[in-house]
Amino acid sequence: MFIPPLKITFLGTGTSGGVPMIACDCVVCESMDEKDKRFRSSILVESDNTSIVVDTTPDFRSQMLRAKVKKLDAVLFTHPHKDHIAGLDDIKAFNYFHQQPIPVYANELTATALRKEFGYIFDENKYPGIPEINLHPIHQTPIMIGDIPVTPIYVWHLKMPVLGFRFGHFTYITDANKIDPEEMTKLFGSKVLVLNALRKEKHLSHFTLSEAIGVAQQVAVPEVYFTHISHQLGTHENICNELPLGMALAYDGQVINIA
């Protein structure tokens, strides 16, 4: 299968509260380093012909403006938590300029949440100017979106099934604390891996930094980035200085090119 060169943009790398967190005066939230300013977690995956966003966060409008995104071919959803779906309404700007619905891919759990949270999008008698989407189910089977191959990876967010995705040589997993062995095999051979790493202390539904490092070392991917970062983890500079070779914290606006 031909895999086109991909450009990955980190639209957001923060956890559900973002960084800085409202009303917090900790060292991270007070940091002047722009790499410690984190929108909610999302990425933009682009080839020369196709643009895909993973998750529409509450910061989606600001993320699209900051990254100067002019074209959107599809949205992939990982799971139905609000920090990953809340910005869906703002795709109506792309409807206006593209003059067509946006394909949206989600598992049944997320699709049910979208129908509930954005009922007006699915109403038979639609109000003018609301978002227009074509909702597609996504299961275990790999799909093609434009010229980008997409392999779903099922992971666990405590007891919630969450979708990670492999785009050719790039793998993205957020909001996970467990990966079953058969799904772990899908990570092997990636050139770049992104994993969530919430904080150093144990959490019931997210990988800690040490747990995420352990997963990365198990699959031996040469270039690894951590995302879905909370203010409890530490500053970007300090944590990056602690990480093994080939690993780093991702930051908002970071771009990775994968041949």
CA 162, 170, 93 angle in degrees (round to 5)? 70
Confidence (pLDDT) at 197: 98
Query: Do 51 and 72 touch, CB atoms closer than 8 A?
Result: yes
Pairing mode, strands 247-249 and 223-227: parallel
- Provide the token pair at 24: 């917090």
- Provide the token pair at 39: 């929108």
Confidence (pLDDT) at 2: 84
CA–CA separation, 246 vs 141, rounded Å?
31
pLDDT by residue (tens digit) across 123-132? 988 888 999 9
Number of Cβ within a 10 Å radius of residue 130: 15
Residue numbers of the chain with a pLDDT score lower than 50: none
Q: pTM higher than 0.95, yes or no?
A: yes
Q: Report how far Cα 93 is from the mean position of its chain's Cα atoms.
A: 21
Query: Do 15 and 198 touch, CB atoms closer than 8 A?
Result: yes
Helix (H, G, I), strand (E, B) or coil at 141: coil
**DSSP codes, 72-136:** --EEE-S---HHHHTTGGGGHHHHHHH-SPEEEEE-HHHHHHHHHHTHHHH-SSPPTT---EEEE
| Tokens 């992104």, located at residue | 194
Contacts of 19 (CB under 8 A, 6+ apart): 28, 29, 36, 37, 38, 229, 230, 231
- Which domains does the chain show, CATH number per domain? 6-258 (3.60.15.10)
- Provide the token pair at 247: 């690993």
CA–CA separation, 55 vs 40, rounded Å?
10
Query: Do 41 and 174 touch, CB atoms closer than 8 A?
Result: yes
Residues, the chain: 259
pLDDT by residue (tens digit) across 81-118? 999 999 999 999 999 999 999 999 999 999 999 999 99
